[in-house]
Structure 1
Amino acid sequence: MLKDQFSLAHLTALACPPPALTYIAARAGFDFVSIRPICMGLRDEPDYDLAANRQMLRQTKAALWETGLQVLDIELARIVDGMNTKQYEPAFEVGAELGARHVLCSVWTDDAVFANERFIELCELARMYQLTIELEFVPVASVATLKQAVSMLHIAAQENAGLMIDAHHFHRSKENVSDLKGIPAEWFHMFHLCDAVKEIPRTKEKMIKIMREERLYIGEGGIPIKEILQEIPKVPYSLEIPHLQRSERLGFEEYVKRCLQSAKEYISLNLDDVNIY
């Protein structure tokens, strides 16, 4: 059976710049880091534009070299109305320079034709840097369901395109685990592992708050994680578990250690005897 591998997703400790995130991840026992060099422009969100901040880029390289960690993915290449695919090229170049494997992508335009065209362009651009584009469906975005994401991937038909499932989004979109059957195994390159309360919020605002500030340790909530993971190939698990109060109380280093501990314990208890290929 393949070894479980874990990445520390940047949203779990977004206040930590990439070099600090890398050192924290290494001390906690992670195999990878997943960093966010593409700023989304949200209020109070730090900007880690490594293409513009060459000093931080050098520091990130040094941290990766010293710790031996690798970069699993960079984020987030959003497809929005009026966007130009080339705007992401500096971040793709940085990702390749750091040895990243994947780029996360989500869709925030209701113009399906435009979205499909830009997605194909992103894949073509990423191919120049030996990167894949991982399409993530998000319940508050335009591509909000598994069905929509699968359809988009079939239309694009790009060899370096993948499907990135986030456990939180899967549950909030009210997906059925059985719908994972038949999805091409080669589409899976990584998985966002987290937990959350079982009850799905009734408002978009509350859903976003939980998504960004109140996710739970693995096994603590009500998401059918075991059932989901039984239906997909074993891939690296990126732990995206932001919890504002816990990380402030414990400090990021202790908090991410507990995130990783919960994931390892859950998988050991629930999945070690399952033949995940």
Structure 2
Amino acid sequence: MARQFSLAYLTVLGCPPPEMTYIAAQAGYDYVSLRPIYMGLPGEPNYALNENKELMRQTKTALAETGVKLHDIELARIHDGVDVKKYLPAMEMAAELGGCAVLSSIWTPDRKFYIEKFAELCDLAKPFGLTVDLEFVPIASVFDLKGAIDVLRTVQRENAGLMVDTHHFHRSRDKIEELEAVPRGWFHFAHLCDAPAEIPASKEEMTRILREARLYVGEGGIDVAGILGRLPEVPYSIELPHVARVKEFGYAEHARRCLQSAKDYFAAHSREQNF
């Protein structure tokens, strides 16, 4: 079975869903990973497809014309005071477009609250046939593999999953061997990128690299092959924001380089890691 790749929203940050879909098709991706949940960040466009019928129509057309499929949507954040029912329209839209998963992360230290809300999010997603995949982020409240496993073991929802981002895994100082004890059924997809091996001392520098300066796979110092070699075969969503390269190359060429570097890396490491 051929390896499958998705173009993640942050890789082409600010690109509208229809254009993103055509770019993905041109570059050779199988899927797109969209952000139809508006997060209200400074300068961020609102691509809430459930609120914009014309944008939804254009996105449907792009998916139909290219054959690219929607893989997952983001980002269903669990934060203080959140009402996860607000994510229902986006999940309904994802199901309508044939999506598989909802990406989530946790940004409140209140364990009782986030366990309750993550479980509720899973229950809301289940009728749409969607998994809810928890991403641990080194600058968030649930920041490492141990914390994410605690959530999944506590909620015990069939459609709950664990989403490993190679950048975040390395920055959270997790041990690659720990992945071997994780239930295989929890893995539905993974985020793929690279970064310098040295872990930034400050949260500010960690955040800067995370949001705007990740590297092409094989260009940095993360043991990407070691991480992925402990996962089952899943689609790889390339989440590789790099502001300077997008400015230099444009969305389409940056997306192409992301995919080509990933394929080259897999080809170079396939034997040693049993890919």
Shorter-chain TM-score: what band? over 0.9
Quick one: distance in 1 between partners of 2:125 and 2:191? 21
1:128 Cα deviation after fit: 1.4
Q: How does 1:21-32 map to 2 (within 5 A)?
A: 21-32=20-31
Quick one: distance in 2 between partners of 1:42 and 1:207? 18
1:42 Cα deviation after fit: 1.1
Instruction: State whether residues 135 and 164 of structure 2, in contact with CA within 8 Å, keep that contact through their aligned partners in structure 1.
Output: yes
- Structure 2: any 5+ residue segments left out of the alignment? none
Instruction: State whether residues 14 and 46 of structure 1, in contact with CA within 8 Å, keep that contact through their aligned partners in structure 2.
Output: no
Count of matched residue pairs:
275
1:274 Cα deviation after fit: 4.0
Quick one: distance in 1 between partners of 2:16 and 2:240? 17
The AA in structure 2 aligned to 1:271 is S
The CA RMSD over aligned residues, in Å, is 0.9
1:275 Cα deviation after fit: 3.4
Matched, 1:163 2:162: yes
Show CA shifts across 1:37-82 (max 9, x none): 0111111111101110111001000000000011110000000111
1:14 Cα deviation after fit: 1.5
- Structure 1: any 5+ residue segments left out of the alignment? none
Tell me the SS of whatever aligns to 2:123: helix
Instruction: State whether residues 226 and 273 of structure 2, in contact with CA within 8 Å, keep that contact through their aligned partners in structure 1.
Output: no
Matched, 1:16 2:15: yes
Tell me the SS of whatever aligns to 1:78: strand
Which consecutive segments of 4 or more residues in structure 1 shift more than 2 A? 272-276
Instruction: State whether residues 213 and 242 of structure 2, in contact with CA within 8 Å, keep that contact through their aligned partners in structure 1.
Output: yes
Quick one: distance in 1 between partners of 2:178 and 2:65? 42
The AA in structure 2 aligned to 1:208 is T
Quick one: distance in 2 between partners of 1:150 and 1:273? 28
Matched, 1:124 2:114: no
Q: Which residue of 2 aligns with 1:220?
A: 219
Q: Which residue of 2 aligns with 1:181?
A: 180
Question: 1:13 and 1:271, CA in 2 relative to 1: closer, same or farther beyond 3 A?
Answer: same
The AA in structure 2 aligned to 1:4 is R
The AA in structure 1 aligned to 2:115 is N
Q: How does 1:104-143 map to 2 (within 5 A)?
A: 104-143=103-142
Show CA shifts across 1:81-137 (max 9, x none): 111111000100111111110000000111100100001100000001110000000
Q: Which residue of 2 aligns with 1:254?
A: 253
State TM-score, norm by structure 1: 0.98
Quick one: distance in 2 between partners of 1:273 and 1:107? 35
